[in-house]
Amino acid sequence: MAVDILKISKDAREAAKIYPDVINASIGMFYDEDKAIGGMPTVSNAIKNLTDEEILPYPAVDGGTLFKKNLLTWVFGPYESTIKDHLHVNACATPGGSGAIAATFSVFTKPEEAIFVSDIRWQYERFADRAKLSCFEHELFDGDGFNLKSFKERLDELCLRQHRVIVVVNDPCHNPTGFTLSEKEFLSILDILNSKVNNDIVFLYDLAYLEFSHEENNRKKLSFLPKLEKHVTSVIAFSGSKTFGVYGLRLGAAIYLGKDEKRIANIHMAYVNEARGSWSATPTASIELFNKFSMIENQKAFHHDLDKINTLVQKRSQLFISQAKAIGLKTHPFRSGFYTVVLTKDPENDYLKLAEHRIFAVPMNGGVRFALCSLSLKEIDGLPLKIKTILNL
């Protein structure tokens, strides 16, 4: 469902200039309880203290050696050595996780091909349209869990139609549902990918919300990637913009991993070429900001801010979900993250009905998405009942 989320958010901001009771649950940006954006003083201060030399010059197109070294350490955490021992790895800086996704579609596909996505998802079709691709869907849920049967059967179908297939998995903290795969489900997905030995599989692992997962170990699933066979290339879409709460200061990366050294080298050249021909280079300020927070001495303060945000976002989510359950307002299975989806029969009209009552949210396949990360506890308290009443659910 192609809707303009940024326009919905703009409409909400315009309405807020007139009405004091506007609830803007349209866009995935963290606001604190006083409705101030960001919530990370350490990041804000670091940006203000960047020097001209850290802002003005051109960076390396792929981010540079230091950036890539820091990136792999940050993303892989305690599993960096294990992953590097079993896989060849390289990376390219991108303008946000969105840049990594767009570049991946461009690098690995031909026009008229399809990408493999879930029926409930973020707006991957916008990037697919740019690359002249279609979306081939599997069902995301089977009850409260991941629908492995649909995933396998539909992937079987697509693999008969085309040799190379990009398989998109958004985890943890799935946008828009807040669902997170269990380790068992993740391993089952890898087993299915390994079974497609006659195909060239690109596993696009979109972990934009990695830092906001409430799993006991939010990086353990990455340690399973060496289990993938040679015909599977993994591409991790990393979002620094979400990690550091600097949504307009675009920072991301594509990290590509595989068992064929030459193939990874060729893929790296393709990403650098795509970057140079599309956005030229990721902002130097973004790269330098990431490098600063990769330094051990700066991480304690950053994680202090991040933990505060994580605790508050989870508290907001639990308040909404508990009140929704109490009145029978149905949502998709939620674990953690920025969003949840209220199930409705007519999302395209239902979000407009809500907007008439100055509640701004985003229509999705099967329901309406609410960005709880941007709402205060006061705004969330009672919101499920308002939604149920307005939509007569």
Surface-to-core class of residue 50, CB atoms within 10 Å of its CB (0-12 exposed, 13-18 middle, 19+ buried):
middle
pLDDT of the residue at 246: 93
* Angstrom distance (rounded) from CA 318 to CA 261: 45
What phi-psi label fits residue 157: left (phi over 0), alpha (psi between -120 and 50 degrees) or beta? alpha
**CATH of 5-40+299-391 among 3.40.50.2000, 3.90.1150.10, 3.30.450.20, 3.30.930.10:** 3.90.1150.10
Residue 171 and residue 186 in contact, taking contact as beta carbons nearer than 8 Å: yes
Residue 254's SS3 state is strand
Quick one: tokens of 43? 């990041």
pTM here is 0.95
Query: Which residues in the chain land under pLDDT 70?
Result: 1-2
Specify the length of the chain in residues: 393
Nearest to 59 by CA among 251, 281, 289: 281
59-294 — its CATH code?
Answer: 3.40.640.10
The pLDDT, as a whole number, for residue 2 is 66
Paired residues of 134 in beta bridges = 114
Strands of 240-390, DSSP E: 252-258, 339-343, 359-360, 362-364, 367-371
Q: Distances from the Cα of 8 to the Cαs of 124, 143, 248, 352, in angstroms? A: 18, 31, 17, 10
Asked if 146 and 128 touch (Cβ cutoff 8 Å), the reply is: no
Residue 244 token pair: 């550091």
Amino acid at position 286, single letter: S
Give phi and psi for 93, each to the nearest 5. Answer: -65, 145
Domain ranges of the chain: 5-40+299-391, 59-294
d(CA 57, CA 73): 25
